[in-house]
Amino acid sequence: MTGHRSALRRAIVLRRAGYDGLQLDRLVRSHALRIVYTVVTDTGAQLGALIAIQHALEHGAEVIVIPHLTTEEIQRDKHWHAVTTLAELVTARGVVSRGSYGTAHPGHGSG
């Protein structure tokens, strides 16, 4: 399929060590992503957000995938709000659009 690969959006993944790879694969496919870098870490919100931002900038990513992150964590921890100023945030629970500053849209983009 010519040109298909270029249509995929660049993404970095921030995941926990024991995270289920099958669910990550489903997220990547359903959101038309191309993973350009993966970080495996069990850090808290502040350091996790800094790591995500640093790698998104270094790798030119439009999307940051953090599968284990919940809607409640995104709304509660303002560190994740900074992430959404830079890129779309994809979690197993839904999508937070770039620039939404922590307003989650569960189920957006799934189908």
pTM here is 0.82
Q: What CATH code is carried by the domain that includes residue 87?
A: 3.40.50.2300
Look at residue 101 and tell me if it is in a domain: no
In degrees and rounded to multiples of 5, residue 34 shows phi and psi of: -120, 115
Q: What is the domain range of residue 33?
A: 4-96
Look at residue 28 and tell me if it is in a domain: yes
Please count the residues of the chain. Answer: 111
Look at residue 25 and tell me if it is in a domain: yes
| CA distance linking residue 89 with residue 106, whole number of Å | 11
**What's the pLDDT band for 103 if we cut at 50, 70, 90?**
very low
In the predicted model, what is the mean pLDDT of residues 38-65? 95
| CA distance linking residue 21 with residue 7, whole number of Å | 23
> What six digits make up the tokens of 69?
């992150």
Number of domains comprising the chain: 1
> Treating both helix axes as pointing N-terminal to C-terminal, what angle do 45-59 and 78-86 enclose, rounded to 10 degrees?
10
In the predicted model, what is the mean pLDDT of residues 28-36? 96
